[in-house]
Amino acid sequence: MNFQQLRSVREAVRCGFNLTEVAHTLHTSQPGVSRQIRELEEELGIELFVRAGKRLTGLTEPGGHVLPIIERMLLESSNLRHAGQEFVAQQSGLLSIAATHSQARYAMPVAVQEFRAQFPNVKLHLHQGSPKQIAQMLIDGEADVGIATEALGDYPQLVALPCYRWTHSVIVPPGHPLLDAPLSLEALTRYPLITYDTGFTGRSRIDEAFEARGLQPNIVLAAMDADVIKTYVTLGLGVGIVAGVAYEAERDTQLRAIDAGRLFGINLTKLAVRRGNYLRKYVYAFIESFAPTLTRAIVEKALGDEAKASHYEI
């Protein structure tokens, strides 16, 4: 048994059982991939794949049982290499962070600035995407750390830890009628609304609040980030609902904000890492810089405590 055989099986599943694509990914030939898979099956004494002629069409029942073991073995081999690198280069490497636009634009800059001062030789790659895309990047090993409000706690492959709580704000131009009376859901339904797209930055809380009151909001525009929302509110196209941190009084001089925590509740931003992943020293340093409550000891405990990892509280 060798790691190339294990990689061939894993990539066959990832590539939708297309051996040509597997060969391209592993920089080898298609017959070589087929041979690696066959040799592993012979050694294990089971067939891992369902076949139609020479084509693979799916996993057998034994294959479905063995695949998670193969993935763990490959992950641990990667961890072993990283452990050696940790002692060779404590202060250099690559940190890949996946975050939503709101987190990258408003929540992360101070932490990134502190991290760059502490680890000037570490290259920082920042990926932006939806919460589901962020989760997938973590699962696929494309990111070391993921930050989002939605979705990250829904994946068993990830350990998602709470970072900070926040509320939404309603934003309007100066002189808007909503500034002169107590804010209510009923009042918001009288105006066209501009807010986040489904699955972004607490949008589910907004939808749930209106639904619980039997109200139908007039959402005329949905966007992935607060900058777009603020732009169209400034143009007079509607009333905006954004994360409170996204309103910056010094910059947003053409807008006014009303706290809407009473209407939409408290949201919780989470930071996630892949379960079982080896985290280098500087990864722990960034996590603690972004969320001071998440010390290395707490993160390590969460990574080692699968039963309780999703139940940590701030």
Residues 69 and 198 in one domain: no
Indicate if 185 and 240 belong to the same structural domain: yes
Confidence of residue 273 (pLDDT cuts 50, 70, 90): very high
* CATH number, domain containing residue 15: 1.10.10.10
How far is the C-alpha of 286 from the C-alpha of 279, rounded, in Å?
Answer: 11
79 and 205 within one domain: no
Give me the mean pLDDT over the 37-46 stretch: 92
Residues 276 and 296 grouped into a single domain: yes
In total, how many domains does the chain have?
3
Whether residue 120 sits in one domain with residue 175 = no
Nearest to 155 by CA among 127, 178, 135: 135
- Lowest mean pLDDT segment, chosen from 28-32, 153-157, 182-186, 276-280: 276-280
In a domain, 110, yes or no: yes
Q: What is the mean pLDDT of the chain?
A: 90
Flag whether 33 is in a domain. Answer: yes
Residue 286 CA, distance from chain mean position: 16
167 is a domain residue: yes
Residue 306 clears pLDDT 50, i.e. is over it: no
Q: Whole domain around residue 231: which residue ranges?
A: 163-265
Q: Does residue 276 register a pLDDT over 90?
A: no
Exposure class string for 114-135: b at 16+ Cβ within 10 A, else e: ebeeebeebeeeeebbbbebbb
Residue 185 belongs to some domain of the structure: yes
At 154, list the tokens: 């829904």
70-102 tens-digit pLDDT = 998 888 887 777 766 666 556 678 999 999 998
CB 179 within 8 A of CB 256: yes
- Examine residue 309 and state whether it is found in any structural domain, yes or no: no
Range 280-307 average pLDDT: 88
We report the CATH number of the domain holding residue 118 as 3.40.190.10
Identify whether the C-beta of residue 189 lies closer than 8 Å to the C-beta of residue 218.
yes
The identity of residue 106, as a single letter, is Y
Q: Pick the residue with more confidence: 147 or 90?
A: 147
Position 231 in a domain: yes
Q: Which of 83, 98, 129 is the last residue of a domain?
A: 83
Strand partners, 124: 95
How much is the pTM? 0.68
172 & 147 share domain: no
Q: What HEC string does the chain produce?
A: CCHHHHHHHHHHHHCCCCHHHHHHHHCCCHHHHHHHHHHHHHHHCCCCEEEECCEEEEECHHHHHHHHHHHHHHHHHHHHHHHHHHHHCCCCEEEEEEECHHHHHHHCHHHHHHHHHHCCCEEEEEEECCHHHHHHHHHCCCCCEEEECCCHHHCCCEEEEEEEEECEEEEECCCCHHHHCCCCHHHHCCCEEEEECCCCCCHHHHHHHHHHCCCCCEEEEEECCHHHHHHHHHCCCCEEEEEHHHCCCCCCCCCEEEECHHHHCCEEEEEEEECCCCCCHHHHHHHHHHCCCCCHHHHHHHHHCCCCHHHCCC
Please indicate, yes or no, whether residues 154 and 226 belong to a single structural domain of this protein.
Answer: no
Q: What is the pLDDT of residues 101-138, one digit of tens each?
A: 989 999 999 999 999 999 998 999 999 999 999 999 99
| Residue 21 falls inside a structural domain | yes
What is the Cα–Cα distance from 298 to 293, expressed in whole angstroms?
Answer: 8
Residue 227, pLDDT > 50, answer yes
